Chains A and B, each alone.
Chain A
Amino acid sequence: MTRLSACLLWLCSSAALAQPALPGDLPLERGNGPEPATLDAHRCQEVACGNVLRDLYEGLVTEDAHGRLVPGMAQAWSVSADGRVWTFRLRPGLRWSNGTPLDAPQIVASFRRAFAPATAAPFGELFEALHNARAVQAGQVPPAQLGVAAPDTRTVVFTFDRSAPVPALLTLPIAFPVYLPGVARFGAQHTRPGHLVGNGAYRLAAWTPQANLVVARNPHFHAASTVAIARVRFHVTEDASAELQRFAAGDLHMTEVVPPQPLTSLRARFGDQLRIAPYLGAFWLGLNLTTPPLRDAPGLRRALALAVDRDKLTAHVTGLGEQPAHGIVPPGIAGYVPARTPWSALDTPAREALARRLYRQAGYSRRHPLVIELRYNTSTPHRRMALAVAAMWRQVLGVQVRLRNEEWKVFVGNRKQRVITQVFRGGWIGDVPDARNFLAAFGSDGPLNWTGYDDAGFRERLARADAATSPAARDAWLRAAEQRLLNADAVVPLYFYTSKHLVAPQVQGWHPNALDRHASRWLRLGSATPPAARSAARSAASPAARSTTGTAAP
């Protein structure tokens, strides 16, 4: 009842005390997708919490607005000749957001907490190359034996057991320093406003679950003077269509996504505010290689892959700038040249002819067709994609496809078990810009190897990449592994993702990048006009005028 009274009081007072905000006080209004599951950096695994945590924390290495790796807490780093020992030298005078000094032993202690079994960090697996990381997380050795040490207050040294994209890994939330006195004092609630102590450009000011989260500039951040926006409000925007309407109404400066709809209508409505860019993610159909009919039929698998016209799919089904895929590692990873399916150079008639021949050789025909199930999780884009692929298979080969959609949790459970799936929706969004991140699951028998692909040759190539001492050699072996996977037709690549946002004209400093990360510290608000007022002005302008305002498109 007290809270209800407080709500009523707030309602009355907000109306009475409402005053026009000063220009510098205007917050950046960001659509952020679903409610962040947690603000405990070590436990975060979704985009929604990652976006907020990148404002609240900084790793030893960070990313600039273009997604390039730049010094974070560390001012410099070096690596041993064999690529296994990484030494990071901290900036002088680092401070937590409460003003207390931040030093190397605290960073080491935070890493130990991240990998402690009780923390149950979901992204710990990405650090499996770190000495003893898996053993610590499994509780087999104490956290003190983790491969990270602080020889002095400004130096952090990591020891890795194999090659790894170390600087990129250190940009992940699990590598952010968590303030352990806060954890000890407040437990799970150390992430609340007033409790959370970070080291990023912003500190947590308010958090209303399922509504919004406000961060305010951190005066103790080492580059505080370069942070242009004083406050940022992250809005929970669970529904993409509702988020788009909020942007159109002028409530938001940026959206987290754009709902599926024709590109031409979006362009006509929003002009240069629509930002579409390549994104480090691949969409493919997985084939269950552990049960018939696909297990012992490589020709049949290739026939299915050949019969899909990816150009049509990306032009007419996805339609938001996606690129047809002939591999599973997307382009855009520095130094890595992605592999391609052996038949990618064929034109459509040759591709379809080859598909029909392989289909016949596998023992199927239009009279005796393959009957197969294509499973996907409930979602309009996935349904449309499944329908289109099923139509292509039927048209080119005569395959009879049973479409089956499942609620999300049911789908991921069934796919993981590999018992009742035949063909299923799959794909991967990169956690770090590293080809191995897209390939590793296929080399194990773990829960992420949804197809059940089991090939000693593939594993050997991955192992050679792990043993490589130079990045070039590592990339070459990873490419060889990807080529082997594609040659085996374990998956049917369909397209590479794009990131899609609406960004208001007065947001400056926003640049597309492969991992689609946009920390607020790099952004500026070019005008003090609040979004609502801007929209009112915009509504008075002609569509042609709207499309030419604001910053240049990337």
Chain B
Amino acid sequence: MKAALKVWSGRLLEALLTLWLLATLCFVLLRAAPGGPFDAEKAAPPEVQAALAQQYRLDRPLLAQYGAWLGDVARGDLGPSFQYPDYTVNQLVAQALPVSALNGGLALLLALLLGIPLGVLAALRAGRTLDRALMFVAGLGLAVPKFVVAPLLVLLFAVTLHWLPAGGWGEWRNLVLPVVALALPNVAYCARLTRASLLETLSAEYLRAARARGLSETRLLFAHALRPALLPVAAWLSPALINVVTGSAVVEQVFGIPGMGRYFVQGALNRDYTLVLGVVLVVGAAIVAINVLVDALRGWMDPRLRAATA
């Protein structure tokens, strides 16, 4: 118990340090970028610019701005948005994170539900036509980028067939195409990973011995091979989850989804310092949390890892 507490407190400290470094680096880079949040085609008169600078603390020395922002963050306040003054960054993130999580979570679920069975099927038919066909399609799914897949889906299912909306947010139908666009490369990767890992597992000594003892192929697969074969898939879950949950700016842009990716892109373009920093911090925290969760999952699947951590 004491050892576990030590491990977890160490991890927490490590996470906080990582987030602080991330935020500081991001703060410096943002402020080093030319152009300011209130630079516009029709610039406001000097007195208005001065009033805005005062409201957003931009009239203070940079170090003072950094200190004030860090103090606010420590109290859980990510500050006001420069671009969207009607909202605080907390409110924008609270609205966007569940959207990205829902979209990305469904995409990852779809990837696992399709990718694992396809990978297993390919491994069981290794070297045959079905295997080659599945891996060719998976290779294609990985090679074609999302900014090509997404418009193609729109063209086919929205513009031509009129089955689904081409974009927007508010109904379940709005989720279908973006989820598919996000899921496709992940399905492909998951299938390839499962196939490779399962093939390696099936050739292990203990399984050959089991097979020699007369164990059926089905029992061999589900009782002995699949769980260890899915360990690499579990390891991949961490970056995949981070990728889809934190939002894909391309997919969100194409389908008009109000998720984290769009806020990051818009925030950077508008020099909305607090919004970008807020998104980076929340995404950073999400990555840390996901890594911890996936480590726990891998530990549950592989007792050797659990023992090593302990």
Where the two chains meet, the residues of A that have a C-beta atom closer than 8 Å to any C-beta of B are: 3-4, 6-8, 11, 14-15, 18, 35, 37-40, 43, 45, 117-118, 120-122, 124-125, 134, 137-139, 188-189, 191-192, 208-212, 235-239, 242, 245-246, 248-251, 407-410, 412-413, 416, 446-448, 532, 535-536, 539
Assess the A124–B43 pair: CB atoms within 8 A.
no
Report B's interface with A, CB cutoff 8 A: 33-36, 39-48, 51-52, 55, 80, 83-87, 92, 94-99, 101-102, 151, 154-155, 158-160, 162, 165-172, 175, 253-259, 262-263, 266, 269-271
16 A-B Cβ contacts within 8 A? A4-B101, A40-B85, A117-B51, A122-B40, A139-B47, A188-B80, A189-B86, A208-B258, A210-B266, A238-B262, A245-B159, A246-B166, A249-B162, A249-B166, A251-B167, A409-B35
Are A188 and B86 touching (Cβ within 8 A)? yes
Complex Cα distance A154/B139, Å? 73
- Bound Cα distance A11, B96 (Å): 16
State the Cβ distance, B163 to closest chain A Cβ, in Å: 9
Assess A242 versus B98: contact at CB under 8 Å? Given A40-B85, A43-B85, A120-B48: no
Contact between chains at A446 and B168 (CB < 8 Å): no
Q: Is the beta-carbon distance between B40 and A137 smaller than 8 angstroms?
A: no
Choose one: B101, B175, B254, B270; the contact of A239 (CB below 8 Å): B254
Rounded to whole angstroms, the CA-CA distance of A45 and B39 in the bound complex is: 13
Which chain A positions have C-beta within 8 A of B158?
245-246, 248-249, 251
Select from chain B the residue with minimum beta-carbon distance to A446: B45
Beyond A212-B169, A248-B159, list 20 extra A-B contacts (CB 8 Å). A4-B101, A7-B98, A18-B171, A38-B86, A120-B52, A134-B45, A209-B95, A211-B169, A212-B168, A235-B256, A238-B253, A238-B256, A238-B262, A246-B158, A409-B34, A413-B39, A416-B43, A446-B45, A532-B165, A539-B162
Query: Which residue of the partner chain, among A4, A188, A408, A446, contacts B269 with CB atoms under 8 Å?
Result: A408
- Which one, A45, A208, A245, A535, contacts B40 given CB within 8 A? A45
Interface pair B256/A237, CB less than 8 Å apart: yes
Asked if residues B98 and A3 are in contact (CB atoms below 8 Å), the reply is: yes
Kindly list chain A residues whose C-beta atoms are within 8 Å of the C-beta of B160.
539
Contact present for B85 and A188 (CB under 8 Å): yes
The 8 Å CB contact of B165, one of A139, A238, A251, A447, is A251
Contact B253 A239 (CB under 8 A): yes
Q: Which residues of A sit under 8 angstroms from B167, Cβ to Cβ?
A: 242, 245-246, 251
Contact for A38 among B85, B101, B154, CB less than 8 A: B85
Chain A residues, CB < 8 A from B41: 412
Contacts of B258 in A (CB 8 A): 208-211, 236
Which of B45, B95, B255 is in CB contact (< 8 Å) with A124? B45
Q: Decide if B263 touches A210 in the complex (CB within 8 Å).
A: yes
B34 touches A413 (CB 8 A): yes
A7/B99 contact (C-beta < 8 A), A117-B47, A448-B43 known: yes
Shortest CB distance B172–A (Å): 5
Among B36, B55, B85, B160, max chain A CB count under 10 A is at B85
Kindly report which residue of chain A lies nearest to residue B265, judged by CB atoms: A238
Contact residues in B for A535 (Cβ distance below 8 Å): 162
B41 to chain A, nearest CB (A): 6
Q: Which B residues are in CB contact (< 8 Å) with A536?
A: 162
Question: In the complex the two chains form, what is the Cα distance from A249 to B96 in whole Å?
Answer: 26
CA gap between A447 and B42 in the complex, in Å: 8
B34–chain A nearest beta-carbon distance, Å:
5
B166 cross-chain contacts in A, Cβ below 8 A: 242, 245-246, 248-249, 251
By the criterion CB–CB under 8 Å, are A37 and B102 in contact?
no
Residues of A within 8 A of B168 (CB): 211-212, 235, 246, 251
CA A248 to CA B151, docked complex, whole Å: 13
The list of the 9 closest CB pairs from A to B, nearest first, reads: A409-B35, A210-B258, A249-B166, A249-B158, A211-B169, A3-B98, A120-B51, A138-B47, A211-B258
Let me know if A249 and B85 touch, CB within 8 A: no
Residues of B within 8 A of A139 (CB): 47
